[in-house]
Amino acid sequence: MKVVLQKDVAGLGKRDTVVEVAEGYARNYLIPRGLAIPASSGQLKRIEALREVERRREAKEEAKAREAARKLKSTGITIRAKTGEAGKLYGSITSKDIADAIREVIGIEVDRRKVELRDPIKEVGEHVVTVRVYPGVSADVAVKVVPE
């Protein structure tokens, strides 16, 4: 029997998805508890309309992310830090520092966990850091560390 899930059901699916289940499972468990309703042509059309709206929203978000990635690639960021002898930093530049600098300089909100930095930057100079803007969209950002 085909049913439309009204709530997320563990092991079965997420809300507003059409799933095929045993008739007894649907009639005795899912439908009485309000977890699902029988799939009718009207429900299937409603679900298809919801999916279309979701696809358009994701396309807009991806377009915004690609624009942000282009902006990140074209604009490098400069971070000033206290240095000691031979260009070594007193502290280090972390992914949080880079995310904050991107927000200040370019105006794009980036989560620090999206900045791919293997080790903290501990030397003055130019470093290339990858920033994941959206799933499948990333940008290589030139980070220039200069002494104060």
Domains of the chain as residue ranges with CATH: 2-62 (3.40.5.10), 64-147 (3.10.430.100)
* pLDDT of amino acid 76: 84
Please, which residues bridge with residue 5 across strands?
36
What is the distance between the alpha carbons of residues 107 and 68, in angstroms, rounded to a whole number?
10
Query: 117, 121, 114, 108: which is closest to 135 by C-alpha?
Result: 114
The amino acid present at 137, given as its one-letter code, is: V
43-64 pLDDT, tens digit per residue, is 889 888 988 999 999 999 999 9
The token pair that represents 52 in the structure block: 């279309």
Whether 38 and 26 have beta carbons less than 8 Å apart is answered as yes
Give me the pLDDT at residue 14, please. 92
Distance between CA atoms of 54 and 35, rounded to whole angstroms?
A: 22
Point out the residues of the chain with pLDDT beneath 70.
none
Residue 26 pLDDT: 94
Contact call for residues 77 and 139 (beta carbons, < 8 A):
no
CA–CA dist 121, 61 (Å, integer): 31
Report the Cα 50 to chain-centroid distance in Å. Answer: 21
Confidence (pLDDT) at 83: 87
In angstroms, the Cα distances linking 44 to 4, 37, 63, 71, 132 are 8, 11, 29, 41, 35
